[in-house]
Amino acid sequence: MLNSVLQGVRDRTRHHLSITLSDLDSMTIALASGSVDATALVEYLHDGVVQYDALAAMTDLALSDVDFTSLYARSGPNADGTTTHAPHNARIAEHEACAEARDLRKLLEDALVTTLKEDAQGKLWRSSATTRVAASIALFRTSDAQGCLSAVIGGMVPTDARRVDDLKTRIEDSGVDVMMLCQAMRALAAVVT
């Protein structure tokens, strides 16, 4: 599935952008294009013709919810007790070390308080930095943020849904940290490229 999603992102990027980009840049643009404040994110990530072309085709370049979940859903303890870890990635570790990412992680943990008490979800959250970063990116998805977040963490307890929605609204109302979010997207893109 990874190869077909990556190929789709690559094909859409080549079709809509006049410059050939690396898979990392293509996936980062796809993640940004499917997020809240997509214009600001793309403007921060690129300039010149890449920015112009990407802004003109954001809807077509956006990573769908189905593709997002197929790439990032459940990277950790499985229902049968086995564990699948995403490969260690230096960019993920670097992103998690920044203060803004730690702050967002704490806000997510507070919103997911009941879910993270569940055995499988709690183990996954504690063991997988990729899951934590994917969860933070899922929160900023424009279409089905809760569905993507739930898939990434292996299911969400319904009582946490309201807290997650409130957190998303609070963050959007106060303004998205574009630099932090772009760093997170680039780190998350690096995991699959």
How is residue 145 written in tokens?
């943020």
Please, which residues have CB within 8 angstroms of residue 132's CB and are 6 or more apart in sequence? Answer: 96, 105, 108, 125
Residue 88's pLDDT is: 63
Query: How many domains are contained in the chain?
Result: 1
- Sign, CA dihedral 126-128-132-133, equals positive
Q: What is the pLDDT along the chain (193 residues), one digit of tens a residue?
A: 778 999 999 999 999 999 999 999 999 999 999 999 999 999 999 999 999 999 999 999 999 999 999 999 975 444 444 444 455 689 999 999 999 999 999 999 999 999 999 999 999 999 999 999 999 999 999 999 999 999 999 999 999 999 999 999 999 999 889 999 999 999 999 999 9
Residue in 83, 109, 78 with CA at minimum distance from that of residue 96? 109
How is residue 20 written in tokens?
């050939």
Give the domain range for residue 192. 1-193
Residue 154's pLDDT is: 94
pTM, rounded to two decimals:
0.91
- What secondary structure does DSSP assign to 136-163, as a single string? HHHHTBSS-HHHHHHHHHT---HHHHHH
Residue 87's pLDDT is: 53
What is the b/e burial string over 105-121, where b = at least 16 CB atoms within 10 angstroms of the residue's CB? Answer: bebbeebbeebbebebb
Residue in 142, 166, 111, 190 with CA at minimum distance from that of residue 103? 111
